[in-house]
Amino acid sequence: MGLNYYQIKKHILRSRKLVIRATNAAASGHPGGSFSMAEILGCLFNKHLKFDPKNPQWDNRDRLVLSKGHAAPGLFSNMAVAGYFPESELDTLRKFGSKLQGHPDLKCPGVEFCGGSLGTGLSYSVGIALAGKIDSKDYHVFTIIGDGESDEGQIWEAAMTASKYKVDNLTVFLDRNFIQQDSYTERVMPLDKKLEGDDFSEMWKDTSRWKTGEKWRSFGWNVIEIDGHRIEQIDAAIKKAKSTKDVPTMIISRTIKGKSLEHMEDNPQWHGKAPDSDIVPIINVELDSQFMIAPSIIAGDMTNLENEIKRCVTGRADYIHLDVMDGQFVPTKTFDHLKIKELRPLTEIPFDTHLMINDPVKHIQNYIDAGSDIVTVHAEVTDESSFGEIHDMLKQNQIGVGFAINPETELPTWSYKFLSSLDQLIVMSVVPGKSGQKYIEETHSKMSRLNSILKENNFSGYVEADGGVNLENIGSIFADGARVFVGGGAIIGQENVRIAIKEFRDEVLKSRRRILLDKANELGGSDLVNKWINLHVIGTKQEQIKKIAKEIEYL
């Protein structure tokens, strides 16, 4: 089975929006800590957790314990998406008589633990994990604890107990976002190396500071350390944890409080603060504007693709784009499924496989078996019947479904019926199979036409721009609606892939900030523009956004 990457991403986005909706309706709540664990919960609910929303007390269900109970909106939003109750019920968060209180409560079917006092959830989890082993039950206990609550001595008593009784059916995530109620953890009670000075970004970026894992190992735990916002790393860590015997597992997840919203990220103010109603529409636009960078390795050394994969890993690429060309559909020939299978063990980063081949329906199983996470086929070599077969095979194997159109091709009307379940649409902006081409400018107007069709047909996937994307045009391509950007020579062709990807991200960020300022101005003129800008208090963001606002004469 594949990673189910795009489906997990879609549900994470939906859940984040529900957190904003719920906390805004309640005028209180904790969006920051809900967002830092969003990818963790997304992977659990959509890939690994055994549960039945129609039978919440199913005896063999996995148990999910939210020890950092103030982040209840994050749990409730995922439960709503999973079908435990209607999404509209989130509007009752923290209301009298609601089953959705400020902390998880057993009056809500599906909730396993009343997460009030911090520090108690791990002890409870050890108990139900041990009970499961004594009763020979086939369930796993997943627990999420906060780094602030790790100040509590009960956490460490529970850690010793879990190790003593070898509860290997217990996996704990430490949501290591470095922020507790009113300050940074390293200013209150350091779990890692004490921070000197005011550069809080060092807590996340400097791996030499990370000491928390050593503490948990000394208590006899299996420890895995990951980026808690990388779906593929979370997925791999859970698989490793479930295969580990005789010891419990701690997955230390380096996260960002308020992740996905610039004004909330790394900002202690958003530990327990609800967004105002006039800000919510702007927030939703920002949530819809998350983007990914996918280097195309064929732009590198084709005789050493293994090294190109390693460069993508070092560069922190979101995907790795694999252009498969057969020398028939396009004049160039690259590699096939055998090479992809050979490269797969080198990284957990999703493989974005772009099939530029004839008769893809005959070969699709090979690319599923090779380890692709997303597979895209072309409109020019499929019809409704063959694409339907490809679509169903990919979905059944939890592989993202992609559809591509060449520069001279319009979206065929037969494909409209698939748009609502399509994960990715590649809009080619160069003629495939030829290197060194410039971005075809007509693609901008083509994207405008496509946006209307996609909206009318409930497309909820990601548009990928492929061909001629560079630092000069990526901002305008983002404004057109693309959210995944393939970079060949502009990324892989550069000496330092990490710097190239960062520069791509910086340009997209500028474009996104302008779009958000446009939205603020549309909704509330200069007053709302100023209010939006003033929310960005961490680092130099506010000055950067003000500069853009002045350039477009909103200030």
496-535 tens-digit pLDDT = 999 999 999 999 999 999 999 999 999 999 999 999 999 9
Cite the beta strand spans of 245-339 per DSSP E. 249-254, 292-295, 320-325
Domain assignment present for 128: yes
Taking every pair of Cα atoms in the chain, the longest distance, rounded to a whole number of angstroms, is: 68
> How far apart (Å, rounded) are the C-alpha atoms in residues 385 and 29?
49
Domain assignment present for 45: yes
Domain assignment present for 284: no
Q: Report the chain's terminal Cα–Cα distance, integer Å.
A: 52
Choosing from 275, 306, 332, the residue where a domain stops is 275
Domain co-membership, 207 together with 321: no
> How far apart (Å, rounded) are the C-alpha atoms in residues 484 and 293?
6
Domain assignment present for 336: yes
Domain assignment present for 518: no
Residues in the chain: 555
Does 11 score more than 90 pLDDT? yes
Cβ proximity of 41 and 285 under 8 Å: no
Task: Kindly state the DSSP code that residue 106 receives in the 8-state scheme.
Answer: T
Domain co-membership, 250 together with 372: no
> How far apart (Å, rounded) are the C-alpha atoms in residues 133 and 140?
10
DSSP letters spanning 182-203 = SSBHHHHS-SSSPP-SS-THHH
> How far apart (Å, rounded) are the C-alpha atoms in residues 355 and 348?
20
Domain co-membership, 263 together with 343: no
Please compute the mean of the pLDDT values over residues 488-502 and round it to a whole number: 96
- Per the DSSP assignment, residues forming a β-bridge with 462 are 424
Domain assignment present for 50: yes
Looking up tokens 């409080």 gives: 257
Domain co-membership, 255 together with 344: no
Looking up tokens 């735990």 gives: 221
Three-class DSSP labels, 65-80: EECCHHHHHHHHHHHH
Domain co-membership, 253 together with 333: no
Please compute the mean of the pLDDT values over residues 36-41 and round it to a whole number: 98
Predicted TM-score of the model (pTM): 0.97
Those residues with Cβ within 8 angstroms of residue 27's Cβ, 6 or more apart along the chain or in another chain: 274
Three-class SS state of 209: helix
Domain assignment present for 87: yes
- Per the DSSP assignment, residues forming a β-bridge with 377 are 403
Choosing from 245, 275, 305, the residue where a domain stops is 275
**Whole domain around residue 461: which residue ranges?**
292-512
Domain co-membership, 103 together with 215: yes
Chain-centre distance for alpha carbon 276: 25
Confidence of residue 294 (pLDDT cuts 50, 70, 90): very high
Does 477 score more than 90 pLDDT? yes
Q: What percent of the chain has pLDDT over 90?
A: 92
> How far apart (Å, rounded) are the C-alpha atoms in residues 225 and 212?
10
pLDDT at residue 205, as a whole number? 75
DSSP letters spanning 431-484 = -TT-SSPPP-THHHHHHHHHHHHHHHTT--SEEEEESS--TTTHHHHHHHT--E
The domain total for the chain is: 2
Lowest mean per-residue pLDDT among 192-206, 259-273, 316-330, 468-482: 192-206
> How far apart (Å, rounded) are the C-alpha atoms in residues 167 and 458?
45
Number of C-alpha atoms within 13 angstroms, CB side, residue 223? 16
- Rg for the chain (alpha carbons), in Å? 24
Does 204 score more than 90 pLDDT? no
355-376 tens-digit pLDDT = 999 999 999 999 999 999 999 9
Looking up tokens 């530990």 gives: 271
Select from 203, 327, 356, 185 the least CA-distant residue to 268.
Answer: 185
Looking up tokens 């901002």 gives: 475
- 344 burial type by CB count under 10 A (0-12 exposed, 13-18 middle, 19+ buried): middle
Task: Kindly state the DSSP code that residue 322 receives in the 8-state scheme.
Answer: E
> How far apart (Å, rounded) are the C-alpha atoms in residues 366 and 363?
6
Question: Quick count: other Cβ atoms within 10 Å of Cβ 80?
Answer: 21
> How far apart (Å, rounded) are the C-alpha atoms in residues 270 and 17?
16
Task: Give the CATH number, domain containing residue 221.
Answer: 3.40.50.970
Domain co-membership, 491 together with 363: yes
Does 550 score more than 80 pLDDT? yes
Confidence of residue 115 (pLDDT cuts 50, 70, 90): confident
Confidence of residue 299 (pLDDT cuts 50, 70, 90): very high
Domain co-membership, 270 together with 323: no
Domain co-membership, 353 together with 204: no
> How far apart (Å, rounded) are the C-alpha atoms in residues 126 and 230?
27
pLDDT at residue 456, as a whole number? 98
Domain co-membership, 266 together with 339: no
Which amino acid type is present at position 199?
Answer: D
Choosing from 220, 247, 275, the residue where a domain stops is 275
Pure H helices in 361-441: 364-369, 384-396
Task: Give the CATH number, domain containing residue 503.
Answer: 3.20.20.70
Give the C-alpha distances (Å, rounded to integers) separating 320 from 174, 373, 488.
Answer: 28, 10, 11
Chain-centre distance for alpha carbon 288: 12
504 sits in which H/E element: helix 497-534
Domain co-membership, 267 together with 330: no
| Phi/psi of residue 143, nearest 5 degrees | -130, 140
> How far apart (Å, rounded) are the C-alpha atoms in residues 76 and 26?
14
Domain assignment present for 416: yes
> How far apart (Å, rounded) are the C-alpha atoms in residues 525 and 519?
9
Chain-centre distance for alpha carbon 419: 22
Looking up tokens 């990388």 gives: 230
134-169 tens-digit pLDDT = 999 999 999 999 999 999 999 999 999 999 999 999
Those residues with Cβ within 8 angstroms of residue 487's Cβ, 6 or more apart along the chain or in another chain: 293, 294, 295, 296, 299, 469, 470, 500, 501, 504
Question: Quick count: other Cβ atoms within 10 Å of Cβ 82?
Answer: 19
Domain co-membership, 443 together with 499: yes
